[in-house]
């Protein structure tokens, strides 16, 4: 059986002390161990920004991509090798700014991957500008008069677009976040997990203490039904997305299950060699 040590690397972290991403890393490593997965059967696609460094600290296949491209890369990996457990991880800037188009298309396609977003409401790597999830009026060094843009509401977007698994965790509750990631891995489809991960250096508004006061745990609400999409939308909107737990889940065919030839020989096991004669004919067409 795998252990936590199997999923750790010798890379020294450059996250700030107290960064919420440490807890996300711990939750992800614990989830992989609890699911009995081996490092060689896991692939992690990491994005840009502070959160994108997470791939350096997990011992598995790691692909560090350019801005906003985590999801199409992860989807390509899953299509090529359906036996891999494929994860994507990034920040709110990477996922909901330049990567927003890929996010919405991943939701509608429903590939069997787990997407974890470390949402700190700010651009930490570039020293504290507003991000897509920053609240209106939020002031930074780059926007001293406050943010004038309405924030992205990722949970609402995902639910409205038809996501089959939506959850939100908080870095201060590693046990719940671990459970949500495990549920996302088991889900046969696109599992979106937004992780509220405070930036202790540049965001002095959305702090650990602030979240502890305002968050509502849906997992502790016996009246809540996570299979009811309309109820999920209602609760998320009413509480301005300040909820944690499993928000919505439904069973639906994954993109890979519907993809032609998916049940045949996996792409990675197919013979892609090209006879020399055919290759030369192809070259001749473009001369």
Structural domains in the chain plus CATH codes: 4-285 (3.40.50.970)
Sign of CA dihedral 92, 94, 100, 102: negative
CB within 8 A of 232, min separation 6: which ones?
A: 159, 166, 226, 247, 248
User: Which residues of the chain register pLDDT less than 70?
Assistant: 261-266
- What pLDDT sits at residue 263? 62
Q: Give CA torsion, residues 68, 69, 70, 71, to 10 deg.
A: 100
Are 224 and 231 within 8 A, CB to CB?
A: yes
- For residue 52, give both structure tokens: 């994108």
Are 115 and 70 within 8 A, CB to CB?
A: yes
- For residue 163, give both structure tokens: 């996501």
pTM listed for this prediction: 0.92
Q: What is the DSSP letter of 95?
A: I
Q: List, as own/partner pairs, every contact residues 131-135 make where C-beta atoms lie below 8 angstroms and the sequence separation is at least 24, other chains included.
A: 131/91, 131/92, 131/93, 131/96, 131/97, 132/92, 132/93, 132/96, 132/97, 132/100, 133/92, 133/96, 135/205, 135/206
* CA atoms of 99 and 129, how far apart (whole Å): 17
């Amino acid at each position: 059986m795998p252990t936590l040590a199997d999923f750790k690397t010798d890379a020294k972290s450059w996250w700030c002390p107290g960064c919420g991403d440490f807890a996300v890393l711990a939750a992800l490593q614990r989830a992989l161990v609890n699911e009995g997965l081996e490092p060689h059967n896991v692939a992690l696609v990491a994005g840009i920004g502070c959160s994108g460094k997470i791939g350096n600290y997990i011992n598995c296949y790691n692909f560090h991509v350019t801005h906003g491209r985590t999801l199409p890369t992860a989807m390509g990996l899953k299509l090529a090798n359906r036996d891999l457990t494929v994860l994507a991880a990034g920040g709110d800037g990477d996922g909901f700014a330049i990567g927003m188009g890929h996010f919405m298309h991943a939701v509608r396609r429903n590939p069997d991957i787990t997407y974890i977003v470390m949402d700190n409401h700010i651009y930490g790597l570039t020293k504290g500008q507003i991000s897509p999830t920053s609240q209106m009026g939020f002031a930074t060094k780059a926007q001293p008069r406050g943010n004038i843009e309405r924030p992205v509401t990722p949970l609402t977007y995902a639910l409205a677009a038809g996501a089959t698994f939506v959850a939100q965790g908080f870095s201060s509750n590693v046990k719940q976040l671990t459970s949500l990631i495990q549920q996302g891995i088991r889900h046969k489809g696109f599992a979106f997990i937004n992780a509220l991960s405070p930036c202790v250096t540049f965001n002095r508004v959305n702090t650990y203490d602030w979240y502890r006061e305002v968050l509502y745990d849906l997992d502790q609400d016996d009246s809540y039904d996570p299979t009811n999409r309309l109820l999920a939308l209602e609760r998320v909107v009413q509480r301005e997305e300040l909820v944690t737990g499993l928000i919505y889940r439904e069973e639906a065919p994954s993109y890979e299950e519907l993809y032609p030839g998916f049940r045949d020989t996996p792409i990675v096991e197919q013979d892609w060699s090209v006879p020399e004669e055919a290759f030369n004919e192809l070259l001749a067409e473009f001369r």
